Chain A
């Protein structure tokens, strides 16, 4: 049962370091989404990517955050110069086509980032 795979599950970084979060979508899925959950809050949309393209990054902070989904390999969410406020659970989701009525998102188990 190859669901959405995220690694690492837990990541600890000191302030100022870089964090790289990886996501392999479900087999056959070419649409990837990143969401962030801050403590005691719901999930917040960050970015939507298809292979080699960023479709919607309206939820991404303007600085320090970037995402890619290369032709080969997993999708990467990269956070440069992390700060304590970046501590959160980051979830990746995928769908075989643009998510919609008959194509709900399938989420991975998340990466819990802790910035010390």
Chain B
């Protein structure tokens, strides 16, 4: 039962263009969503988060959009840089467990930014 799904295993974009990574979820009790970035042989690094009371959160080149009715969120990176090449994980936490660190992760999307 995959409650958080990242249906695209990989994405390739040209440097300078926009990267859009997508994530779908099934549990309507999720109220907090995060994106993590992971390089090979390293742990995930927190990138950006959004609460369910918002539909957009922006931090520099990174913007996360949340569409609650569609149970969909996306991460936009613009402009994309070669150093952004990594695996991106979408994660969610459930109302009541949002302060326990019990995150549900998607399978990840490998982003390759070509120079």
Residues of A within 8 A of B (CB): 4, 31, 33, 35, 40-45, 48, 55-56, 58-59, 91, 93, 95, 97-101, 104-110
| Known A40-B107, A43-B89; contact A109-B43, beta-carbon cutoff 8 A | yes
Q: Tell which of B36, B42, B98, B103 has the most Cβ of chain A within 10 Å.
A: B103
Interface size on B (CB < 8 Å)? 28
Check A98–B43 contact: CB distance below 8 A. Answer: no
Residues of B within 8 A of A (CB): 4, 6, 32, 34, 36, 41-46, 49, 51, 89, 91, 93, 97-108
Check A43–B101 contact: CB distance below 8 A. Answer: no
A107 surroundings in chain B (CB, below 8 A): 36, 43-45
- The residue from B36, B43, B99 contacting A100, defined by CB atoms under 8 A apart: B99
| Known A56-B102, A104-B34; contact A42-B43, beta-carbon cutoff 8 A | no
